Amino acid sequence: MPVKVDIEKEFYGRKHIKKKGVKPSFSMHCSFDADSDFVVLFGCSGSGKTTALRCIAGLENPDAGTIKINDTVYFDSRKKVNLPPQKRKIGYMFQENALFPHMNVRQNIEFGLKGLSSSAKAERVNEMLGLVGIEELELAYPDELSGGQKQKVALARALAPNPEVLLLDEPFSALDTVIRLKLRKELRTIQKRLGIPIIFITHDPVEAFTMADRMVVFDNGRVQQLGSPEDVFYHPKTRYVAELVGFSNLFDDAVVEGHGQGDECTFLWSLGTEITAPYIRRMAGDRVSWGVRPENIELVDSESAYAIRKEDRKNLLDGVIRNVVNRGTSRIMSLKLKDSGAVLNVEVTNHIFDSLKIGTGDECMVRIRPSDMIVF
């Protein structure tokens, strides 16, 4: 595995001074491996993603642990190895690009090319300009460029010295959607061409899902889950991760009633009724949480509801539409359930919603498939 990270770091207030008896104000502990692929560090602001990335870059020092890239040890607290950022073969992109404002694009890109002849430098710069598609901007200064162009220059500058790994700290957050989508695609293409691992920070779930081969989910300085985007998004391991990846229907205080024949399912008492959930290894009387994604809730019209066989009447819920929000591409309906008064968020495509001819104040039935549920 080219990338191996296992580090700890503690912060003590503003001055970062460790005093006896004082508890750390923030503590980060993360451990993950990556192959030559795209790793996304995902989580809310302040969850420790940037700290981890800066430690890998050498901009900050972990208190303990190891960082290994392609068999080179960048940091090892026990062997007292700590390569300065200058000696680490990394490329880094900042959120605000951090281009050198007093140098033009060419000078920015060639800044990391120490020790090359001027012809070799020129050749490499031209190669990079071509790679990101900004040949015509060669002599422009950063203040003459748009946000997307600046990030392209920053990418070219980071890749010019042939790094072994590329680290990106929310590089597209400050850009508009159209440019962001374009740059995501280009970055993926470049990564496949160069074959180097990329570690990418974002707090945007869509960006994380579309770009990642592997996701590392952070919360409060700890890794909550590690896996493919599908694993993380459809099978979150904790309530925190579920909320982060879009399970906007999460219900705590469900009580386990029992299990189905052959442990094929678990019965919960929640929302004022019996809910059939996927099997979870808990005893009757235990409290659990469960959730379902808004787009996975099935709308059932009243005619079909009567036709449903008794044995299929699992998780059939009755409610009144409290509110409908049009998100442009879909509708989010707030459904207040009759039995419990709990509110369910249901996402419906505009096409289906318009054909159903329902609106605020109408009654509505929904069904939740056990396979779409997650239980903690």
Partner 1 sequence: MSPLLLTLKIASISTIFVTMLGILIAYVLAKREFTGKWLADVLVTLPLILPPTVTGYILVLLLGKNGILGGIFTKITGSGILFTWQAAAIAAFVVSLPLMVKTATSAIGAVDRNVEEAACILGRSEFETALFITLPLAKKGIIAGCVLSFARAVGEFGATLMVAGNIQGKTSTMPLSIYGAYQAGNNELANLLVLILIAISLITIAATSKLGER
Binding track over 159-188 against partner 1, x by CB under 8 A? --x---------------------------
Asked whether position 100 contacts partner 1 by CB under 8 A, the answer is yes
Query: In this chain, which of 11, 94, 141, 251 binds partner 1, going by CB under 8 A?
Result: 94
Does residue 85 belong to the site contacting partner 1 (CB under 8 A)? yes
Residue whose CB is less far from partner 1, 16 or 313: 16
The residues in 310-369 that bind partner 1, with binding defined as CB under 8 A, are: none
Long-range CB contact pairs, 330-334, < 8 A, 24+: 330/295, 332/294, 333/364
**CA nearest to 93, candidates 67, 66, 57:** 57
- Which CB atom, from 60 or from 295, has the smaller least distance to partner 1? 60
Whole-number Cα distances in Å, 143 to 139, 153, 159, 332:
12, 12, 21, 41
Measured from the CB atom, the residue of 160 and 242 that comes closer to partner 1 is 160
The reply to whether 114 sits near partner 1 by the rule CB under 8 A is yes
Q: Which of 88, 150, 259, 367 binds partner 1 (CB under 8 A)?
A: 88
Q: Which of 63, 76, 96, 318 binds partner 1 (CB under 8 A)?
A: 96
Q: Around Cβ 187, how many Cβ atoms within 10 Å?
A: 22
Options 11, 26, 111, 251; binder of partner 1; rule CB under 8 A: 111
Q: What are phi and psi of 271, to 5 degrees?
A: 55, 30
Cβ at position 59, least distance to partner 1 in Å: 5
Check residue 129 for interaction with partner 1 (CB under 8 A).
no
Is there binding between residue 80 and partner 1 (CB under 8 A)? no
Total of chain residues touching partner 1, rule CB under 8 A: 23
Q: Where does this chain touch partner 1 (CB under 8 A) — which range of 37-45, 157-165, 349-357, 365-373?
A: 157-165
CB of 124 to partner 1, least distance (A): 13
Q: Which two tokens stand for residue 321?
A: 């539409």
Angle value at C-alpha 243, between 364 and 372, nearest 5 degrees: 50
Q: Using an 8 Å Cβ cutoff, are 260 and 327 in contact?
A: no
Q: Quick check: 84 binds partner 1 (CB under 8 A)?
A: yes
Cβ closest to partner 1, residue 141 vs residue 279 = 141
Tokens at 315, concatenated: 């998780």
Interaction of residue 86 with partner 1, rule CB under 8 A = yes
CA distance 136 to 173: 25
Establish if 68 lies at the interface with partner 1 (CB under 8 A).
no
Residue of 21, 101, 195, 361 interacting with partner 1 (CB under 8 A) = 101
- Output the smallest distance, CB 174 to partner 1, in A: 13
Considering the complex, what minimum distance in angstroms separates the CB of residue 322 from partner 1?
Answer: 46
One residue of 91, 221, 229, 370 binding partner 1 per CB under 8 A = 91
Q: Is 62 in the site for partner 1 (CB under 8 A)?
A: no
Residues making contact with partner 1 (CB under 8 A): 57-59, 84-86, 88, 90-92, 94, 96, 98-102, 111-112, 114, 157-158, 161
